[in-house]
Amino acid sequence: MVGGHVERPRTQTGAADATRFHSIRARLDALRPAAGPSAWLYEFLLFGFKQGWACLFGALMLALLLGTHLLYPRDAALARYDFLTICGVAIQIAMIGLRLESWREAKIIAVFHIVGTVMELFKTAAGSWIYPESGVLHIGAVPLFSGFMYAAVGSYIARVWRIFDFRFTHYPPRWTSIALALAIYTNFFAHHWLPDVRLGLFAVIGLLFWRTQVWFRPFRVYRRMPLLVGWLLVALFIWFAENIGTFANAWTYPTQSEGWHMVSLSKLGAWYLLMIVSFVLVSLLHGGDRSPPPTPVRRSS
């Protein structure tokens, strides 16, 4: 990441920012640490805080997966999977009620829940993975809590996009990214009967986005990163989360039938592709400025 443009903190609050986090963020952004190492350290810590806030929904769901695996009674009247589904709904209601999340983000989560459940229905029928425990709240072999795993990805992208005020340079025409996302999503299904074209999809991704930079503002200065690298970092994080999910027996792969082991790194490629589908979907629902960062301005004294 390299330094970029400086911008004064914004003071106007839009509908998407009408959350409790906005007031906290405004106070943190208003602080003026001393120049030098103190400022760098503060920006680093603030970056981590904002990233953690963007991950809130997914972090709570992961904590529930692991906690119920270790502590939930096996003979409870309410099945663990059903408990997870109820908790997922309760978290969503609480985040809206406490203004920890905007209605726009909630709508994005709902869309991802539907898209993810459709994929789950197909993949479980094809034997790609299974849900080993029973429950009442399910569709076919898919417990309803599974949709929240996809929703967590959508929630993170939508929130991080807004919190860091994403801007882009050299972003390809929108229709090309939409066509790419449709091709990726189709291949997730079609490769069970037709040749798997994911290598070709990776080549197209590189061709379209090799020059694209994402600009983000952790504090006062816009930083930039190649978008391809940003996607890889998020996909890696999701891969680690998936290992926690399979360890917690939330779902298992056929290769884990005789005991848990870490998910193959080959799954990282699948998550990278799914990241792009998620990113494009959020770009349509959440919006986002594809213009360069604003003209540099001086810090006020």
DSSP sequence for 82-121: HHHHHHHHHHHHHHHHTTSS-HHHHHHHHHHHHHHHHHHH
Q: What is the pLDDT of residues 185-237, one digit of tens each?
A: 999 999 889 999 999 999 999 999 999 999 999 988 899 999 999 999 999 99
Q: What is the pTM of this model?
A: 0.83
Q: What single-letter DSSP state applies at residue 22? A: H
Sign of CA dihedral 261, 265, 266, 271: positive
Q: How far is CA 86 from the centre of its chain?
A: 21
pLDDT tens by residue, the chain, 301 residues = 444 444 443 433 344 445 666 777 777 777 778 777 888 899 999 999 999 988 998 999 999 999 999 999 988 999 999 999 999 999 988 888 887 777 877 887 888 888 888 899 999 998 889 999 999 999 998 999 999 888 889 889 988 998 898 999 999 999 999 999 999 999 999 988 999 999 999 999 999 999 999 999 998 889 999 999 999 999 999 999 999 999 999 999 998 888 899 998 888 999 999 999 999 988 887 555 556 665 544 444 3
> Which residues pair with residue 169 across a beta bridge?
213
Cα–Cα separations (whole angstroms), residue 247 to 66, 79, 146, 200, 277 = 8, 18, 15, 32, 26
Q: What is the 3-state secondary structure (H, E, C) of 143-201?
A: EHHHHHHHHHHHHHHHHHHHHCCCEEECCCCHHHHHHHHHHHHHHHHHCCCCCCCHHHH
The number of beta carbons lying within 10 Å of the beta carbon of residue 52 is 10
Residue-wise pLDDT for 267-294, tens only, equals 899 999 999 999 998 888 755 555 666 5
What span, in angstroms and rounded, lies between the C-alpha atoms of 135 and 119? 19
**DSSP 8-state assignment for residue 218:** S
